[in-house]
Chain A
Amino acid sequence: MLSVQNLHATVGETEILKGLTLEVPAGEVHAIMGPNGAGKSTLSYVLTGRQGYEVTEGGATLDGEDLLALAPDERAAKGLFLSFQYPLEIPGVPALTFIRTALNAQRKARGEKEITAPEFLKLARQKAADLKIDFEMLKRALNVGFSGGEKKRMEIFQMAMLSPRFLILDETDSGLDIDALRIVSEGVNALRSPDRAMLVITHYQRLLDYIKPDRVHVLAGGRIVASGGPELALELERDGYDRYAKAA
């Protein structure tokens, strides 16, 4: 599914990713953990095509297709979704309008038929109920005046509505209380399937109690410096990142 080969990327003059290699097969959930400044968010931005992140070497493919050659919206239409660490506020655009525009743009890009208004509303009502989101909130401007937890929940709602194939969750647990964390995790787990894969970026092990990873990678100094099973996350929680920071 996702294959990242020897990825080097710079922001401005600074090289942040220094030869990152990672394979996430379909059906699996991989966690990326690492100290602050290791390049975790940079990885998510490079994969999704944010401006200002320049790839100087290496590559990334999704199902064999070169991701880096595509525009951000084209990558989204291929099924790549990033749940933002800090979701943006979109004044003046109701959440439902935004999501419907996105969904139809993706469908159009894939040569599919647009979703009708009744179909869309039915789907939205069902997904909102699953995530315990008040439907009225979806009529308000997206994320404007929402709390940190509401914004994260709205990311998962969008994910459920857009039904992507490859999900990147960037620090989705930050700003969530225990109840919100449980609801968000249930939302994410509901999307687990044999033809989907996920990359869960997190600083703390806590999220991984809820979203159980198949593999855990340690990102330090712009490279994956260790990989293992779920037990690696527990070990990191106990011993910290010092050892890996030195290795990097």
Chain B
Amino acid sequence: MSVAAAIRTRDVGELPSRRDEDWRWTDLRGLIRVLPQPSEVFTGDLAALPLDRLAADHHLLVNGGDARIDVAAGKKTLVALRLVSRGAGAHASRVTIHLAAGARLRLMESYESDGGSVCQTALTITLAEGAVLERIVLAQDHEDAVSVSQAEVRLSPTADFGQTVVTGGARRQRIETRVVHPGGRASVRLDGVYLLADKRHADHTTVVAHEGVDGTTNQLIKGVARDQARGVFQGKIIVAEGSDRTDARMGHHALILSDRAEVDAKPELEIYADDVSCAHGNTVGAMDEEALFYARQRGIPEPEARAMLTEAFIGQVIDRIWFEDARRVVRMWAAERLRV
């Protein structure tokens, strides 16, 4: 049972539902009665995105298709991977990314849609020893779109993987990352920001499996939900038996800005090793009214004060992006969304 299979066979019975523990907050079976026709081939023009302009190399997939990105040993490159949905059809995409030993890649990955499409993207990412990948994902989906992105990441020892997913949600959206962590001084950063309004939904699901000694994982996800929006965070870190000296930290913090917004969070640490340092923190709450009054007492009008405090709240995640130009683009994108 998978979203990709459902799209291929047009059998809604293949869609995950709330009966699947892992999908209970992002029920697709209950949402989609009939899967749309396969998406048509798109031949029009697309305007460039701010993130694209940072890249040297571009991969564009419109309404499905396959892409492969290889970075040779010791090479350093900046690639834009743009996944676009046009119209209201269904389609799936597959992307394979491989970094050879010591390769460095900055990946600017974006998702866009303009209607009620149903799409799934499967990414397979492998990093050889000493490779460094920073993956920045910006999802700008349509309010009627259903979008699922599923990445399988496999690291080698001494590789560094840094990820920041930034999303405004969709009708239903899930961005999933599963990492196999070999330890061996490899490091993982799995960050995310969700800014949700209206009836939008965004689900960040991550699983990191530590399978060797001396691995680190650091995660910070922050979100803001207003109106009737719903944010979901499911984070799991598994430390296998014998994966000693693993250092894993997970944080998820959300602001709920209306009575009808909802945030569901399930942080999980499954530790089977003895000598580990693991921590997690999870908070969901309203905006700090005292801080808001303080800002207003200094003369900052309420909407501006709210935007400033919210921007600062998520800014702590954006500041962790390694690539400065991308940090700037993401910060602008967030500021535009918050100042409404």
A interface residues, Cβ below 8 angstroms from B: 48-51, 71-73, 75-77, 81-82, 84, 87-93, 98-99, 101-103, 105-106, 109, 141, 158, 162
A105 CB contacts on chain B under 8 angstroms: 299-301, 304
Most buried by A among B291, B297, B301: B297
Chain A CB within 10 A, most for which of B288, B298, B312:
B298
A72 in contact with B296 (CB, 8 Å)? yes
Least CB distance from B331 to A in Å reads: 12
Instruction: Give chain A residues whose Cβ lies under 8 Å from the Cβ of B308.
Output: 93, 98, 101
Contact of B299 among A88, A92, A93, A109 (CB under 8 A): A109
Chain B contacts for A89, CB-based, 8 A:
291
Complex interface residues of chain B between 286 and 326 (CB less than 8 A to chain A): 288-291, 293-302, 304-305, 308-309, 311-313, 315-316
CB closest residue in chain A, given B305: A73
Interface bracket on B: 20 to 34
Contacts A51-B293, A88-B290; A102 near B298 (Cβ below 8 A)? yes
Residues in chain B near residue A106, CB distance under 8 A: 299
In the bound complex, residues from chain B placing their C-beta under 8 Å from that of A90 are 291, 294-295, 309, 312
State A84–B295 Cα separation when bound (angstroms). Answer: 12
17 A-B contact pairs sorted by A residue (CB < 8 Å): A49-B297, A71-B302, A72-B293, A76-B297, A88-B291, A89-B291, A90-B312, A91-B312, A91-B316, A92-B311, A92-B315, A92-B316, A98-B298, A99-B298, A102-B300, A103-B299, A106-B299
Across the A-B interface, how many residue pairs have beta carbons closer than 8 Å?
A: 77
**Which single member of B291, B293, B299, B312 contacts A102 (CB below 8 Å)?**
B299
Choose one: B291, B300, B309, B315; the contact of A73 (CB below 8 Å): B300
**Residue from A48, A49, A92, A99 whose CB has the most chain B CB atoms within 10 Å:** A92
Chain B residues at the A interface, C-beta cutoff of 8 Å: 288-291, 293-302, 304-305, 308-309, 311-313, 315-316
Q: Which of B288, B309, B311, B312 has the most CB of A within 10 A?
A: B312
Contacts of B293 in A (CB 8 A): 50-51, 72
Query: With contacts A72-B293, A92-B316 known, what are 19 further pairs, Cβ within 8 A?
Result: A72-B296, A72-B297, A73-B297, A73-B300, A73-B302, A73-B305, A76-B297, A76-B298, A76-B299, A81-B297, A82-B297, A89-B291, A90-B312, A91-B313, A91-B316, A92-B312, A98-B308, A105-B300, A109-B301
Q: Considering the chains assembled together, what is the distance between the CA atoms of A220 and B296 in angstroms?
A: 29
Q: For B297, give its contact among A48, A91, A93, A103 (CB under 8 Å).
A: A48
Nearest B residue to A82, CB-CB: B297
Least Cβ distance of B130 to chain A in Å? 34
Q: Chain B contacts of A102 at CB under 8 A?
A: 295, 298-300
Residue of A nearest to B298 (CB): A102
Minimum CB distance partner of A103 in chain B: B299
Nearest B residue (CB) for A44 = B297
